[in-house]
Structure 1
Amino acid sequence: MDTAVRFPTTPKAVKAHALKLSPRMNVEKAFQAIMRNCLDQIEANETGVVKYRDVESLHQMRVGLRRLRAALGMFDDALSLPLALRAELDWLVAQLGPARDWDVLAGSTLPAISGSVEALAPLVPVQLAAADKANALHAAAGEAVGSERYQDLIGHLERWLDERAWRAMQLPADRARLKMRIADFAKGILEKDQQRLLKRGRKLKQADPEARHRVRIAAKKTRYAAEFFASLYPRKTVRPYVGALASLQDELGLMNDASVAASLLGQLSEGDAALAEGAAFVRGYLAGRAAQGDGKVRKLWKRFVPLRAPG
């Protein structure tokens, strides 16, 4: 007889599962498949966020939300989410975003710095204060995801998607777009996204944080589109393109994390002399690291520029 004590384990955070589109699909069917894929990722991470306050589950839920909003933006010329639902999505993003920002500071940025420099006593209270802030925001995010408001939002999104409620508000031209082959539609989206990214990327040399952020957002949207439509194209074409985008996005993300961290540290130390020295040290350290990151970003950009979007 097995008498071992068993303890419940934290559920694993759920990433987006592979999306398979058929070239024979029309735009409407493909939109439903993409939205379903995003909603599945969001809903699969609910327990981790609500019950376990799991950092990675929160991150993956946010990724699912970003993918969903990117998909809505891609198809906005053919159909639109009602304004009330858009407002509720904005509310959910606002509940999760601050917790994730403080998670990165407390769980990644500060430990990396403390591990790479000699012991610095003033850093300890900063780490403790950041962890307290992250924990409080995690609790708030968990309450939001566990709320009736969240359940209403997900229920309305599900019904809107399953019942194709956008049809009631469409003009004939919109209906015609939804009947297009998805391969033709995807080609236009990917070309448009690439042109926007190339235009913004021209300003990367010695760019300020705001300009880098704009490039990062464009890279992220371009990557999501390429991943959504990846099954429509040969793997040998898609993989190098998505890989180059992912590397560029990741490095720009690290630089953005440093910029956000500097802002959060300013909030943390404002009016608290005990945190001022450690916060100032970290901000200076991050500024120096950001300068080093510029060179790496430019190399990754040069690797991406010659590539062409699938299709």
Structure 2
Amino acid sequence: MAREIQSSRPEGDPRPPLRVVEVGPPAATAKKAKPVSLLSTDSAEDAAVCVFSTALDHFEANLPVFRAIESPESVHQMRVGLRRLRAAIGLFRNALSGPALEAARARAREIAGILGHARNWDVFQEMLEAGPARALGDAPSYCSLLDALEFKRAGAYRTARETIEEAGTAAFLGAFRKAIAERDWTAAPDATEEGSASEFAAAALTKLRKRVLKKSKGLARRTPEERHELRIALKKARYGAEFFESLFPQADAEAFSAALAKMQDGLGAFNDMETANALLDEIDARSEAALKASGFVRGWFAHAAQAGVAHAKKSEKRLRKLEPFWE
């Protein structure tokens, strides 16, 4: 925060005192995931240690930001950090196994779910502001809808804060840090061989790509649930590409990840509309005064969702043309 102070001039100087703006530390901002740096000599186990640690770093870097300002972006980044951790544990499942990994994955999923509920209300609010709000203006029913939304959002944020601050969350972080340091898991023999990270990465990425292609077949005819499954597959493939990109030509790897992210975001927009209907159900149950605006918003989103068919056809074609960077 800036603070204005005065500074005196030399004795006899007729001019008024100087006005000086003293600038304090910058406001807390949410932190994105840092790149994972692997070496060609790393084993698959070495790679896992680095990937797990980076995901935990991402989550923990946003804890003080959330505590300071509870920004929507800090919630989003904490959730992403936990999703990346869960994806990483799943990705290395054939190479590493043990109770510590399964416990961490389960706890990460639980916390991410709570953060996700808060995040859903933020996204819903953004969707309203970007579309229906312009048509509804100050209509009383819409004001009631916004009041109900804020009530539900505040409750979700309280639950998120309680979860972040509870002793179990600190225990989860400490326990998994310890497990990583001690490599507290059972590693497959080939996972500990020097240089095995590259071969493991190629096999894992090939598997993830095949899953994406399978789930994208006939995408325009798929149900919303099936499209959501593809979005999850895209997300896991993108995380995998980002985890291992330092082992391969960087430009190709970054282009691959960027293409997946673009398709994921496009599908995500339509998944958000499905989520919005569930949130509107919660609002309708709380506020009869919001029912008129709620019906209008549902219709608005249903109309917007029609564009999903064209987007799906384009996404499927792009996926088919996307060449692996690890071959």
TM value normalised by structure 2: 0.87
Q: CA RMSD in A?
A: 2.0
Kept after mapping to 1: 8 A contact 2:86/2:109:
no
CA contact (8 A) 1:14 1:45 kept: yes
Any runs of at least 4 consecutive aligned residues in structure 1 with deviations exceeding 6 A, and if so which? 5-8
Quote how far apart the aligned CAs of 1:60 are: 0.3
Alignment of 1:35-184 (within 5 A): 35-82=52-99, 83-106=102-125, 108-117=126-135, 119=137, 121=139, 122-167=141-186, 174-179=188-193, 181-184=196-199
Deviation string for 1:148-185 (max 9, x for gaps)?
11100100010000111114xx5xxx133332611100
Paired amino acid for 2:41: R
- Higher mean Cα deviation, 193-202 or 128-137? 128-137
**Which of the numbers 206, 214, 220 marks the counterpart of 2:229?**
214
Aligned positions, number? 305
Structure 1: 5+ residue stretches without partners: none
- What is the CA deviation profile of residues 268-295 of structure 1, one whole-angstrom value per residue up to 9, with x for unaligned ones? 1026321111111111111111111321
More off after superposition, 146-155 vs 174-183: 174-183
Judging by fraction of residues, say which structure has more strand.
2
Structure 2 matches for 1:223-302, cutoff 5 A?
A: 223-270=238-285, 272-302=287-317
Cα separation, 2, equivalents of 1:17 and 1:133 = 32
Query: 1:308 aligned to 2:323?
Result: yes
> 2: distance between equivalents of 1:219 and 1:87?
21
The answer on 1:32 being equivalent to 2:49 is yes
Q: Supply the distance in 2 between the matched residues of 1:6 and 1:140 (Cα, whole angstroms).
A: 34
Q: Is the 8 A contact 2:98 2:184 kept in 1?
A: no
Residue 116 and residue 299 in structure 1: after superposition, are their counterparts in 2 closer, same or farther (change >3 A)? farther
Matching residue's letter, 1:138: Y
Query: Structure 1 residues 252-261 or 110-119, which shifts more?
Result: 110-119
CA offsets, 1:167-212, max 9 Å, x none? Answer: 4xx5xxx133332611100010111001000000003113221011
The answer as to whether partners of 1:48 and 1:58 remain within 8 angstroms in 2 is no
Say which SS state the counterpart of residue 54 (structure 2) adopts: helix
Other structure's SS at 1:29 match: helix
The structure 2 residue matched to 1:204, chosen from 219, 244, 247, is 219
> Percent of counterpart pairs with the same letter?
34
Are the counterparts in 2 of residues 35 and 71 from structure 1 also a CA contact under 8 Å? yes
Moved more, 48-57 or 277-286: 48-57
Structure 2 equivalent of residue 11 of structure 1: 28
Contact 1:38 1:67 in 2 (8 A): yes
State the distance in 1 between where 2:145 and 2:218 align. 35
CA–CA distance in structure 1, aligned partners of residues 4 and 150 of structure 2: 39
**Relative to structure 1, is the Cα distance of residues 7 and 147 closer, same or farther in structure 2, using a 3 angstrom cutoff?**
farther
SS at match of 2:185: helix
CA contact (8 A) 2:256 2:322 kept: yes
> What is the DSSP-based 3-state SS (H/G/I as helix, E as strand, rest coil) of the residue aligned with 1:270?
helix
Distance, in Å, in 2 between the alignment partners of 1:62 and 1:241 is 23
Query: What is the TM-score when the length of structure 1 is the normalising length?
Result: 0.92
Distance in 1 between the 2:234 and 2:105 partners? 23
Partner amino acid for 2:232?
I
Deviation at 1:37, TM superposition (A): 0.8
Answer yes or no: is the 8 Å Cα contact 1:110–1:127 preserved in 2: no
Tell me the CA shift for residue 79 of structure 1. Answer: 1.2
Say whether the 8 Å CA contact 1:70–1:224 is kept in structure 2.
yes
**Cα deviation code 1:77-96 (max 9, x no counterpart):** 11125244333223212321
1:215 is aligned with what amino acid? L
